[in-house]
Amino acid sequence: AQSVTQLGSHVSVSEGALVLLRCNYSSSVPPYLFWYVQYPNQGLQLLLKYTSAATLVKGINGFEAEFKKSETSFHLTKPSAHMSDAAEYFCAVSDPGGAQKLVFGQGTRLTINP
Amino acid sequence: GAVVSQHPSRVICKSGTSVKIECRSLDFQATTMFWYRQFPKQSLMLMATSNEGSKATYEQGVEKDKFLINHASLTLSTLTVTSAHPEDSSFYICSAIHRDETQYFGPGTRLLVL
């Protein structure tokens, strides 16, 4: 069975500082990995995805994530935080050969301090 | 591209009534759609997989007679909450599988049962 663990339910950084949101996964097969962002009272927006191509994936809004098989990690980073980055972030994993169901982490709320 | 809409965005109903939520893929066809439920400050919980032209597949613990799903076309899935009760109040989100195997999410529907 697949699972996702997001370390830190709440992360707070200053505007302009590095953003690092941690995600570790468990999967018996090479997974597909995703990061989604959710703004209040809205659905989820895809930030980026890893589907077995390049291990460093660049997404929208300046975010990127690196797939590290040896560490079973897919951490999300952004060099310089903006106030508009404040939101809930979800890491998710799916089985490429399965029913494309996503298993979500518990989410990390990112707060940006001025 | 890859836009998913939901209607209504917000609905308030009386206990005992039924509510229908629509999920549409606007610019692509989706054989498979998913329905999720999200409680405040929590992650998404998969309720069911909606397959065009066939019966939905429900996750364990989800009452199929209470949450009726119909996927009558490649761009539309509906979720009907039958005989709604206050405990059904929640944020319901759908997603649709694009041919690039990515799930694209709708903006969600906030249901409040009085």
Average pLDDT for B15-35: 95
Interface test with B, best of A104, A108, A111 (most B CBs within 10 A): A104
| Percent of chain B clearing pLDDT 70 (strictly above) | 99
Q: Which of the two residues, B90 and A52, has the higher pLDDT score?
A: B90
- Distance (Å, whole) CA B1 – CA A35: 18
**A95 to chain B: closest CA residue:** B101
- The share of chain A scoring above pLDDT 90, in percent, equals 73
In 3D space, the residue among B65, B61, B81 whose CA is nearest the CA of residue B15 turns out to be: B81
Taking an 8 Å cut-off on Cβ atoms, the answer to whether A102 and B42 are in contact is no
SS3 of residue B90 by DSSP: strand
Decide which of A100 and A12 is more confident: A12
**Is the bond preceding residue B40 a cis peptide, omega within 30 degrees?**
no
Report residue A8: phi and psi, to 5°: 95, 105
DSSP state of A18: P
Residue A59 has pLDDT above 80, yes or no: yes
Above 70 in pLDDT, residue A31?
Answer: yes
Residues A22-35: what's their mean pLDDT?
A: 89
pLDDT in tens, B28-82: 999 999 999 998 878 889 999 998 888 999 999 999 999 999 998 999 999 999 9
* Interface touch A36/B105, C-beta < 8 Å: yes
**Residues of A contacting chain B (CB within 8 angstroms):** 32, 34, 36, 41-46, 49, 51, 90, 96, 99-102, 104-107
Answer whether residue A97 shows pLDDT above 80.
no
**Alpha-carbon gap: B78 to the closest alpha carbon of chain A (Å):** 17
